[in-house]
Structure 1
Amino acid sequence: MRSLHPLVVTPETAEVVELPAGGAFTLLADANHTGGALGANRLRVGPGRDGAKPHYHGLSTELFYVVDGAMEFLLGDRVETVAAGGLVVVPPRLPHAFGAVSGTGADLLAVLTPGVERFGYFRRLARVQHGLEPFDGLRSEQDRYDVHFVDAERWSSLRGGR
């Protein structure tokens, strides 16, 4: 069901979930806010830090707009570096990952469509990154959040275990 009402999120009303090394998720819109049309968040990533481990979404297309800095993206079996002003669109089922280029931080807008309730995922991911809960706890939630983790040797070797 699509929302028939506009959604306005101001900087004062957006929830900010702090991450290590100066990073943060700014939670902008979840599926329940948009009638399932989309979900949106902004991600600030510290210098050289990973934004997401290799995964895919079975249901949704994901759009990334690099607001500031530069990001490395794993897109299937290739890696692309995308600087500020660049756009990446990832279709459903394509394994992908992303992180800030070594030596620089980045700011990224991410939009998932159709939307999936994922604010809970981002809150838990922050807890994992702060060492407050194990990453494996997210594996049991893969279907709920439509985030399906995959192994990606190329990403691991490129990122050097960051």
Structure 2
Amino acid sequence: MDQPAPRPTSRNILSFPGTGRAETVMTVTHTYRLEEQQTGGALACIELVVAPGHGIPPHTHHREDEIFYVIEGTIEITGDDLAGPTRLPQGGIFYGPRGRLHGFRNPTDVPGRMLVFLTPGGNMQRMFAALAELTARAHGAPSPEEVGALCAGYDIIFAPPA
């Protein structure tokens, strides 16, 4: 009789307000509320603070799904199958499945905050760490070409500028 494959040890995890490792990725502050090391790679949860007028241009990732939950402010979402840019208010949720083009920006004059859930968690967490290093080396302003090349190594492709 076949034995079931062993499952990784799992445990309950708590993440309290004001805790987590922080890093700056271009103009967005990331605070890791749950990291892949804590969840056995199942997911990562990152709290983002998005400055007014900033965000992430449209891109497609092929290894993970993404969920955005707006905690404060308004975040504008774009997607290849949305009618146009859509403003998501506090409490709104967006699901971006792997393989679909999407992006976001803060269209307001106050910072926005959102939780981003990535599943599985490891690939993008490692990409964000590499982007944070690139951001620091470039004194906060890496070129779009540098960012695009780095992200492509993690199967994340940016749409050409419109």
TM-score, structure 1 as length reference: 0.77
2:37 is equivalent to residue 32 of structure 1: yes
Match for 1:137: what amino acid? E
Residue 83 to residue 34, structure 1, CA distance change in 2 (3 Å): same
Select 1:147's aligned residue among 140, 145, 156: 156
Distance 1:149 1:20, change over 3 A: closer
* Residue identity matched to 2:156: V
Is the aligned partner of 1:130 residue 2:140? yes
Bigger Cα Rg = 2
Instruction: Tell me which amino acid in the other structure corresponds to 2:44.
Output: G
Amino acid corresponding to residue 32 of structure 2 in structure 1: L
Q: CA deviation at 1:101?
A: 1.4
For 1:83, which of 86, 89, 96 is the aligned residue? 89
Closer, same or farther in 2 for the Cα pair 1:74/1:129, shift >3 Å?
A: farther
- Residues in 1 aligned to 2:107 and 2:33: alpha-carbon distance in whole angstroms: 24
- Unmatched 5+ stretches in structure 1: 154-162
Q: Distance in 1 between matches of 2:158 and 2:88?
A: 23
Distance 1:63 1:141 in 2: 22
Tell me what 1:14 maps to.
20
Moved more, 30-39 or 141-150: 141-150
Show the counterpart of 1:98: 104
Gaps of 5+ in 2: 1-6
User: Which range moves more in the overlay, 137-146 or 26-35?
Assistant: 137-146
8 Å CA contact retained: 1:117, 1:145: yes
Name the amino acid aligned to 1:148: I
Between the aligned partners of 2:47 and 2:79, the Cα distance in structure 1 is 20
Question: For 2:151 and 2:158, how far apart are their aligned partners in 1?
Answer: 8
Aligned to 2:77: 73
Q: Could you tell me how far apart the structure 2 residues matched to 1:25 and 1:17 are?
A: 5
Query: Aligned residues: percent identity?
Result: 25
- Give the total of aligned pairs: 150
Out of 34, 39, 63, the position equivalent to 1:59 is: 63
Aligned to 1:116: 122
Conservation of the 8 A alpha-carbon contact between 1:116 and 1:145:
no
